[in-house]
Amino acid sequence: MPTYKKSDARAWARQHLTGCSAVTIPSYSADLKRLNERGIRHDIAKVAELGYRYTLLCSEVAITPEENAQFTQWARDTAGERLGLFFHAAWGTLADNIEAVKLAEKAGADIVLLSYPTQFWPTSEQEIY
């Protein structure tokens, strides 16, 4: 996934991660049982058309790692190289996030944003670090 060495990460980020990134939430079928490919492709095309350089593919929704990989693959296929894709690592455990990031990387994600699990409610600074 990375196109830089670890020692160059900050310089790469300063050069490439400028401006505002979009956030794309996956669209669902009318019965909410599956992803809506047409809707996702429309949304990704619109983000690229509006001139964003990156979009965060939001996973803090009712989506499995496999569905997220499909979401990512449709986004990559639609955007090509016009748009960078953030994988949103928001699953409940580190192991789940590692599994999901491997799937997303194969599907075309470019970069990872690690978030706290949605059920994490720290009561002290020590719990965060």
50-101: pLDDT as tens digits: 999 999 999 888 899 999 999 999 999 999 999 999 999 988 888 999 999 9
Helices of type H across the chain: 9-16, 37-49, 65-79, 94-107, 125-128
Question: What pTM was computed for the model?
Answer: 0.86
User: What CA–CA distance (Å, rounded) separates 32 from 82?
Assistant: 29
86, two tokens: 């953030």
Domains and CATH numbers, the chain: 19-128 (3.20.20.70)
